[in-house]
Structure 1
Amino acid sequence: MSALSTPDASPETTLSADAAIVRDYLEASMIPDPDAAAAYMAPGCTITFTGGREFDHPRGPTSVNAGRYAWVKKRMLRFDVAPADGETVVYSTGYLYGEWPDGTPFDHNRYV
């Protein structure tokens, strides 16, 4: 397993191709642009979201977030890449920040 950090990574640290796909997906989903995010998903891929909810398109999590937050972004701190036989799992960890629907800001809500 390798651990890669961004955006505070040193200049010589580069993301693996798999971690870069996850980063690009997450960046598109934060715009939010669920159709652009979908371009990073393999056919048949499912998204398991908070509470075990499963979606087949990024529109699902985008819809949940639209009802939960005024806006939300991810501060992506680390990517853990776990290659296996026939698949690779990439974990992104960091913190959520944004505003609740009433305008109250929040920061440092951990995500995996």
Structure 2
Amino acid sequence: MTDTKSQSEAERVVRTFLAALEARDLDTARALTGPGFEMRFPGTGAMTDFAELMDWAAGRYRRVGKTIDAVESFADEAKSVVYTRGTLAGDWPDGTPFDGIRFIDRFEIVDGRITDQQVWNDLAEMRAARPAEVQA
């Protein structure tokens, strides 16, 4: 597989994975992960289980979706690295909507499967900026 082909395939895997997570289709998301898969979100250590992710996320938002503005990928013989960036929109735990929150995700793909996901976003900063009575 050429680098361009492996980059395109890696980007497809990432987009499919993100769409599955947004739809809460955890079986599809899990099928796209490889051995030793780990994910890290702001304020967490490594997580390996999607149920753990859902439990952690429940206190942060009711619903979240991503608008992807750009995808960049790099590949060598061993792995592909894919970055996605854009904005988050969704609902806080109290049902109040939010949007326009920046994010960057970094993925490592080996043999067509995601082995590592790292997430950076401004969700905590935006939540902290809300009035105290609605931060729950």
Q: Percent identity?
A: 35
- 1:61-109 C-alpha deviation (Å, 9 max, x unpaired): 2222222112111112211102134111111111110011112110010
Structure 1 position 106 matched with structure 2 position 98? yes
Give the equivalent residue in structure 1 for 2:89.
97
Structure 1 position 35, deviation (Å)? 2.4
**Unaligned ranges ≥5, structure 1:** 1-14
Q: State the Cα distance separating 1:58 from its structure 2 match.
A: 2.7
Aligned residues: 98
Within 2, Cα distance between the matches of 1:90 and 1:58? 20
Q: Supply the RMSD in Å over aligned alpha carbons.
A: 1.6
Aligned-partner Cα distance in 2 for 1:29–1:20: 14
Contact kept? 1:80, 1:90, Cα under 8 Å: yes
Counterpart selection for 2:17 from 22, 25, 33: 25
Aligned mates of 1:54, 1:84 — CA distance in 2:
25
- Candidates 48, 55, 61, aligned match of 1:63: 55
Deviation by residue 1:8-38 (Cα, 9 ceiling, x = unmatched): xxxxxxx811011011001000111222211
Point out the structure with max Rg over C-alpha: 2
Cα distance in 2 for partners of 1:45, 1:67 equals 23
* Structure 1: 4+ residue segments shifted above 6 A: none
Aligned partner of 1:86 in structure 2 is 78
Q: TM-score, normalised by structure 1?
A: 0.78
What is the DSSP-based 3-state SS (H/G/I as helix, E as strand, rest coil) of the residue aligned with 1:18?
A: helix
Give the TM-score, by structure 2 length: 0.65
